[in-house]
């Protein structure tokens, strides 16, 4: 890097003779600054992949949930709905329904609904099964959210590290060339600012997406909790009506 700067000064000290493009700044940067840029670039690409996957997945889940609720509240038989869903539900709401119905059928097959004690225990088990299923499904949906939060909080500081290193190289260039012209300082400063920019490019979308996705996941979790409560009430009435 220092040799390229010196050549730029010997050719007239003009800043325009130095490659100040994005690729030029990257290839002329110190290896530490290059490492910082590559880490931030990789983090940004991975963040965008997570964002697109989460957004598309949430849209699909809301669509599946709407169709399932239409079938559930259509007045048809819950046993027929369970037979259609089978053992492989397509969305978390169907999974909550399947888990509750599976526990209901197992207890009915064992004759545990006959006694009052058995009915009380069945209701508690069904509620626990649905709560566990809701928590497990939400944990799956929250996968990689921690990465978005980490990038949003650490990427600016990683970029700042590259900035500090680039400024240090600028002062070293001044010491080596014995020149204080802009042609000597500009490349290192440009590298430093480029590293800072990459840090912000990685951090800003990660923070915005994390807040948006967290809000969407919270609403969806509330939707699952509401369905679990309504279905628990329905099963509770059926248990009480069982002789």
The residue segments making up the domain with residue 147 are: 31-71+93-241
Residue 153 lies in a domain: yes
State the total domains in the chain.
Answer: 1
Residue 98 lies in a domain: yes
Cβ burial of 1 (10 Å; 0-12, 13-18, 19+) is: middle
Dihedral sign for Cα 12, 13, 16, 20, please. positive
**Sole residue written with tokens 């053992």:** 87
Tokens of 94: 């169907």
Structure confidence at residue 55 as a pLDDT band (50, 70, 90): very high
Residue 112: per-residue pLDDT? 54
Residue 82 lies in a domain: no
Residue 56: per-residue pLDDT? 95
Residue 11 lies in a domain: no
Contacts 24+ apart (CB under 8 A), 113-119: 113/239, 113/242, 114/242, 114/243, 119/239, 119/240, 119/242
Residue 21 lies in a domain: no
Residue 5 lies in a domain: no
Residue 76 lies in a domain: no
Residue 80 lies in a domain: no
The pLDDT > 90 percentage for the chain reads: 39
pTM of the model: 0.77
């Amino acid at each position: 890097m220092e040799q390229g700067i010196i050549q730029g000064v010997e050719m007239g000290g003009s800043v325009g003779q130095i490659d100040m493009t994005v690729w030029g700044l990257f290839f002329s940067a110190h290896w530490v600054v290059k490492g910082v840029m590559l880490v931030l670039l990789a983090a940004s690409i991975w963040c965008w992949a997570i964002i697109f996957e989460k957004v598309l997945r949430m849209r699909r889940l809301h669509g599946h949930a709407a169709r399932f609720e239409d079938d559930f509240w259509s007045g048809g038989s819950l046993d027929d709905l369970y037979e259609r869903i089978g053992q492989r539900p397509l969305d978390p709401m169907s999974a909550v329904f399947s888990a509750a119905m599976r526990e209901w059928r197992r207890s009915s097959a064992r004759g545990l609904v006959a006694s009052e004690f058995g009915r009380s225990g069945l209701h508690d088990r069904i509620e626990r099964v649905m709560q566990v299923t809701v928590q497990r499904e939400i944990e799956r949906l929250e996968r990689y959210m921690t990465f978005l939060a980490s990038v949003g909080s650490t990427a600016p500081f990683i970029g700042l590290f590259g900035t500090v290193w680039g400024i240090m190289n600028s002062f070293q260039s001044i010491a080596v060339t014995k020149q204080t012209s802009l042609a000597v300082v500009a490349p290192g400063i440009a590298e430093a600012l480029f590293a800072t920019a990459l840090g912000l490019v990685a951090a800003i979308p990660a923070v915005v997406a994390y807040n948006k996705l967290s809000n969407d996941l919270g609403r969806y979790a509330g939707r699952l909790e509401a369905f679990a409560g309504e279905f628990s009430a329905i099963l509770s009435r059926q248990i009480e009506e069982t002789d």
